[in-house]
Amino acid sequence: MANYDFSTLNDKDLEILVCDLFTREFSVNFQSFKAGKDKGIDLRYSTNNSENEIIVQVKHYLVDP
């Protein structure tokens, strides 16, 4: 098993990584938002009639071992 150091990612890079992983895992396209006016929503998947089906908030913090 490989060891990965995600501490080098900034908050936006982490959101992009999570978006890519969720898109692959759930086989749907997640929408991401620019910083600021997203009202706490980092990623979402909406149906064709614009109803939010999945909302994701990505937290970026480090915990010292």
Encode pLDDT of 6-65 as tens digits.
888 888 888 889 999 999 998 988 988 777 665 666 888 887 776 768 888 888 777 766
Both tokens assigned to 31: 């929408």
47 occurs within a structural domain = yes
pLDDT attached to residue 39:
61
pLDDT attached to residue 53:
81
51 occurs within a structural domain = yes
Domain that holds residue 16: 6-56
Q: What is the pTM of this model?
A: 0.74
Tell me, rounded to whole angstroms, the distance of Cα 34 from its chain centroid: 12
pLDDT attached to residue 25:
93
The number of domains in the chain is 1
28 occurs within a structural domain = yes
31 occurs within a structural domain = yes
Both tokens assigned to 63: 């915990």
Collapse the DSSP code of 26 into the 3-class scheme (helix H, G, I; strand E, B; otherwise coil) and give the result.
Answer: helix
65 occurs within a structural domain = no
pLDDT attached to residue 40:
65
